[in-house]
Amino acid sequence: MSHAATSLNDTASPPLYRFMGVELELAPDVLVPRLETGLLGREAVARLRERAGPSIVVDMCCGSGNLALAIAAHVETAQIWASDLTASTVALAGRNADRLLLAHRVTVRRGDLFAALEGDGLAGTVDMVVCNPPYISSARLANNSVHLLDAEPREAFDGGPYGLSIHQRVIRDAVAVLKPGGWLLFEFGLGQDRQAISMIARSKAYEAPLVAHDADGAPRVAIARKLMGDGPSSEGISGPVR
């Protein structure tokens, strides 16, 4: 991962960081937004702006709320549900939504991925799911990437044995909430593009995916559109990714 987004005020408490034009409060136990996540946000905004009328968006693994709030700021017709697993992260995202006067369009829930939204009646209604999940393997975090844990929580980085455990679940479970033709966009780590594309293809629920590249030409974001018909939602992606 690259360095954090530019700080607006290194001495203020709480610190504020700018991400896609919005100022975010951060906290020691929440991931600092990375510059490459802006690529995911811009790709999401571009597709939502192509749509006519309001959009329903889900932000999985929302962290500080950076993606959900940036999308809400740039797409005034978007209604967004954001979720994360930890109470402190959800509280922070909620504070950011309140401070940015976006709480009327950004709802923050706590829970394990899509389980957090089970009571919101979103099945088959969502136009887009975005996700910046953990994507560093557990082994790397124990070795050459252990320095990342000095200032940020393990939950923000640990993607399981191969770094793609959360991606597998999101690809599978997003199918149930997305409309036919709805979009799934997610970030992945350097060198994980082939595995990410393979997981999407094996789900048999999406059109052939696209990949967005960062400023250095590295593939970092997968862009997949749910098939217009009724495709299988989980078949073929339950096994480990190598």
pLDDT per residue as tens digits for the range 146-197: 333 334 344 444 434 444 888 999 999 999 999 999 999 999 988 889 999 9
- For a pLDDT cut of 90, what percent of the chain falls above it? 64
> pLDDT tens-digit profile of 77-124?
999 999 998 898 999 999 999 999 999 999 999 999 999 999 999 999
Distance CA 71, CA 34 (A): 16
Beginning with the edge strand found earlier in the chain, give each strand of the sheet holding 219-225 in spatial order: 106-110, 78-84, 55-60, 126-131, 178-187, 219-225, 210-213
7-225: CATH, from 3.40.640.10, 3.40.50.2300, 3.40.50.150, 3.10.450.50: 3.40.50.150
Cα separation of 63 and 67, whole Å?
9
Let me know: does 60 contact 155? Beta carbons within 8 Å. Answer: no
What pLDDT score was predicted for residue 230?
Answer: 55
Q: Is 168 helix (H, G, I), strand (E, B) or coil?
A: helix
The sign of the dihedral angle between the CA atoms of 100, 104, 106, 107 is positive
Model confidence at 229, pLDDT cuts 50, 70, 90, reads confident
Provide the 8-state DSSP code for 4.
Answer: B
Structure tokens belonging to residue 91: 């509280």
Note whether 45 and 69 are within 8 A (CB).
Answer: no
**Among candidate residues 171, 186, 192, the one with its CA nearest the CA of residue 236:** 171
Q: For the chain, percent helix, then strand, then coil, each to nearest 5?
A: 35, 25, 40
106: left (phi over 0), alpha (psi -120 to 50) or beta: beta
For the chain, the domains span 7-225
- Residues sharing a CB contact under 8 Å with residue 27, sequence separation 6 or more, in sequence order: 14, 64, 88, 92
